[in-house]
Structures are given as C-alpha cells and as structure tokens.
C-alpha cells in the first residue's frame, strides 16, 4: 500500500515537471537517461564479464596441464600399485613427515584416521589452497614409501597454481 502511494506521489510530482519541459529538453533528458542506462550496463555487467572471460581463457592452459599431470599420476599409481613395497611404521607419521618436508603442513586442514580395511591403515586428508607442484611432490613421496591412493579429488583454487585436495591414503 505504501509503495503504490509513493509511486503515485512521485508520478504526480514528476509528470507536471516533465510536461513543463519543451520538446528539445525532453529529447535531451531522454538521451541522457539512455546514456546513463548504457553506462551502468557496460560498467556493471559487460566489462566485468569480459574480464572474467579473459581470465578464464588465460587459466585454461594451466588447468589443462594440471589435468594432464593428474592423468599421468593416475596411470603411474595404477602401474605401480602392485609393485610397491609394504610401508613401515605409522601412516599418520609418514604423512606428517612428508607434509613438513614439502612445506604443505599448514595447508593440511583435515587429517582423520579411517577404519582399517584388510589390515591396512587408512587416512582421509584435506588440503586447502595448496601449491599444486608441492602437493604432487608430497604425493610422489607417499607413493615411493609404498602408500596407496584410494581416492583423490582436485579442485582449482582461486590462486593460480594452487588447488584444494581431498585424498584418502592407505598404507
């Protein structure tokens, strides 16, 4: 009720003012309103959208490279799954040591033991905004010790060259 009253009141004030303008002033005001509308549309929507598209196009080669690296790692894991030696000691201790060695311990936000399957230790890990190259080195170190990747999910982070990771390791 109040909104319609406000609109009616505004219309009652603006309409006489508009009618008091001559033809030329009305055209200038209409043109000005169009320019303001287009300016708002361009600077609020079109330019930020274009910048985002350019940014995403620039990120595409890096993401393709990361996807290829992940595919190579998956193939490596599959090939060496049976040939690796049985790891010694605690899986959690090995994760702690390797994450400190590759300077990604601060990005390890979740480390939780999972119920043991077939006598193997299992851990769920989650890294936030971790350097992709350091994470891959960490993962290689864990695989070299005979640990096995049961689950791996990578998601690109906002910062270039960084990812969010969910990982389940078995040792």
The answer to whether residue 75 sits within a structural domain is no
Query: What pLDDT, in 10s, does the model give residues 112-126?
Result: 888 776 677 888 999
* Domain that includes residue 35, residue range: 2-53
**What confidence tier does 160 reach under pLDDT thresholds 50, 70, 90?**
confident
> Which three-class secondary structure string do you get for 70-94?
HHHHHHHHHHHCCCCCCCCCCHHHH
The answer to whether residue 59 sits within a structural domain is no
- 132 near 163, Cβ under 8 Å? yes
Q: pLDDT at position 23, please?
A: 92
- 78 near 155, Cβ under 8 Å? no
My answer on whether 96 and 158 are in the same domain is yes
My answer on whether 90 and 165 are in the same domain is yes
My answer on whether 31 and 92 are in the same domain is no
My answer on whether 92 and 141 are in the same domain is yes
- The answer on pLDDT for 86 being more than 60 is no
Residue 45 is classified by DSSP as I
- The answer on pLDDT for 85 being more than 70 is no
Mean predicted confidence (pLDDT) in 68-87: 70
- 140 near 86, Cβ under 8 Å? no
Q: pLDDT at position 60, please?
A: 87
- 143 near 149, Cβ under 8 Å? yes
My answer on whether 41 and 98 are in the same domain is no
**pTM of the entire predicted model:** 0.52
My answer on whether 88 and 166 are in the same domain is yes
My answer on whether 40 and 98 are in the same domain is no
Domain total of the chain: 2
Q: pLDDT at position 8, please?
A: 85
My answer on whether 49 and 94 are in the same domain is no
My answer on whether 146 and 103 are in the same domain is yes
- 125 near 110, Cβ under 8 Å? yes
The answer to whether residue 76 sits within a structural domain is no
């Amino acid at each position: 009720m109040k909104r319609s009253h406000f609109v009616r009141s505004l219309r009652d004030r603006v309409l006489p003012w508009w009618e008091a303008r001559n033809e030329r002033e009305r055209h200038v005001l209409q043109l000005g309103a169009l320019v303001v509308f287009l300016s708002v549309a361009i600077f609020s929507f079109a330019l930020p959208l274009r910048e985002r598209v350019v940014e995403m196009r620039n990120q595409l080669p890096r993401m393709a490279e990361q996807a290829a690296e992940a595919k190579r790692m998956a193939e490596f894991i599959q090939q060496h799954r049976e040939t690796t030696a049985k790891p010694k000691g605690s899986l959690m201790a090995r994760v702690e040591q390797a994450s400190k060695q590759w300077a990604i311990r601060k990005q390890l936000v979740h480390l939780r033991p999972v119920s043991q399957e077939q006598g193997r230790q299992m851990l769920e890990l989650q890294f936030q905004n971790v350097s992709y190259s350091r994470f891959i080195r960490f993962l290689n170190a864990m695989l070299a010790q005979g640990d096995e990747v049961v689950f791996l999910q990578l998601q690109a982070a906002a910062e270039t060259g960084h990812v969010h990771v969910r990982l389940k390791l078995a040792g």
